[in-house]
Each structure stands twice: as structure tokens, then as C-alpha cells.
Amino acid sequence: MKLPIPQVEPQAQPNATKKLDITVNIRKIPFFSELSDSEVEKVKESLRVRLYSRGNVILQKGSTADSLLFLLSGQIQAVDITNDGRTLGYRIMTAGEFFGELSIINTTVRSASVIALSETLVAFLPAAHALHLFMHSPPVARLMLKHLATRIQHDAEQRALLSIQNTSKRVFSFVAQIKDKSDGNRNIIENMPTHQEIASMINTSRETVTRSLQLLAKMGIIQKEAHYLVIVKPEALQQLLHNP
């Protein structure tokens, strides 16, 4: 099943751009939190904010890498389309994350599209300014190194997950990987993707995801709360993953 991805360039959305002119907002973006006051002022002059509705394309695969992007609010997902027309979903990002850095560093075009999963506010920093910070700001350089190391680890985990032949176990493994925080012996997932979003990320069907999550609930391993999912028995989930 395809996700509806409109082929719309972000620049084509009228009245979507406004200037971010409140310094405290910049300070709240983790990427800029340790910059000097003079650096913040320079960022303040360059940064622009755009508002997107659910389903809008924020980045188009193959487009020029002219900005580093910061997710201020909402939820987004990187996606790609296979040769046979299937939508493959990659990581889902939430407020506080930045993206589009690899194509800036490599001076290449965008390697994937990014769509809004909800109403989303995104800040754009021109590529030249971003590269200057990468090379001349020690706090930003440290953050980038940590970020790239995390991405390498995530990509390795994703490859391992996709190599699992049993699709139900693939769902179980995905659930085990995406916990947001722990509460005693329980793990909590606050931003649980939809069943279709999970299916696109682990290369299976929405029906398989639904059946697998229902099985975990029936076994008492997970529990759906109002706004989040709880892994009630993390050890039992791990046992399922390791059973032949």
C-alpha cells in the first residue's frame, strides 16, 4: 500500500515562510544551544521557518541541498519509492532533531524525500552557514560527531532488523528498538508510529503489523494507553525475539 506523497516543492507553498526573530526560540533548538551570543545573532539573520500540513513534502529526493533543516514541532518521516512503486519509510523524526546534513557535507542532492506526518514547523539554515558552524564551532562539531555516530548505529540496527525472515519477529524487534524511556520495569513508547508507517519501515504489510501487535497485547507484553504504548514485560519481549 502506498503512502500518499504529493509531489510538491516546499517553495511552491504560498505564505509558508516567515522570519524567526525571537532569540530565545533559537536557544531552544539543541543544535544552537551552546553558541555564543554573536553566533546566535548571525543565525537569527539567516534562519527561516516554514509551516507544513500533514502529507506535504518538505524535501524532495534529487533536489539541491541548499539548507540544513531543524524540526521545531510535529513529526516527519524520510521516505523513498522503489522501482515497483512501493513506499519505503525510514526513520521518523520528532521535535528537536535536525536533518539534511549528509547531502550538505557531501555536496550532493537529497537522497530521500521527507514528508510531514502532522502539522509541522521546520527551520531552514542556509548550507553555507551550516558548513561554517560544522567547521568552526567546537560545540556544533561535537554534536555532529555524536549525531553521525548515532545514525551509523541506527542504520546498522535497521539492516539487522530487515534481515529477519519472520515478519512477526520483525515487528517485535521494531517495538523493542523504539522505546522512548523506562518507568521501573516498563518501557514506554510515546510517539508510536501508525501500523502503516511501521509496515513501510520494516518492509511488511499493515495487516502483519496489526496481527503482531494484537498478539503482543493478548500475551500481556504490551499495553495501549491513551497517548502511548507501554512494553509491560520487556524481558518476555526479548525472549520472543530469541526463541527459534
Which residues, 6+ apart, have CB-to-CB distance to 132 below 8 Å? none
Per-residue pLDDT reduced to its tens digit, 69-83: 999 999 899 988 777
The pLDDT score that the predictor gives to residue 149 is 94
Give dist(CA 192, CA 159) in Å, integer. Answer: 20
Integer Cα distance of 212 and 167 in angstroms? 9
pLDDT value, residue 98: 94
Cell for 131? Answer: 558548513
Q: Residue 103 above 80 pLDDT?
A: yes
Which residue intervals of 91-233 are DSSP H helices?
A: 101-105, 127-136, 138-162, 167-177, 195-202, 206-218
CATH number of 164-242: 1.10.10.10
Give dist(CA 88, CA 215) in Å, integer: 25
Residues 6+ apart with CB under 8 A from 67: 100, 124, 125, 126, 127, 130
In a 3-state reduction of DSSP, which class is residue 231?
strand
What average pLDDT does this structure show over 114-130? 94
Give percent of the chain above pLDDT 70.
Answer: 86
Banded pLDDT at 171 (limits 50, 70, 90): very high
Structure confidence at residue 15 (pLDDT)? 38
Q: Indicate if the pLDDT at residue 234 is higher than 60.
A: yes
Handedness of CA 141, 142, 143, 144 (dihedral sign): positive
Query: Would you say residue 23 has pLDDT above 70?
Result: no
**Confidence check: pLDDT of 188 > 50:** yes
Neighbouring residues of 142: CB distance < 8 A, sequence distance ≥ 6:
none
Instruction: Domain ranges for the chain, please list them.
Output: 10-137, 164-242
Give domain 10-137's CATH number out of 3.60.15.10, 3.90.1150.10, 1.10.3210.10, 2.60.120.10. 2.60.120.10
**Tens-digit pLDDT profile for residues 130-167:** 999 999 999 999 999 999 999 898 888 888 888 999 99
Average pLDDT of the chain is 84
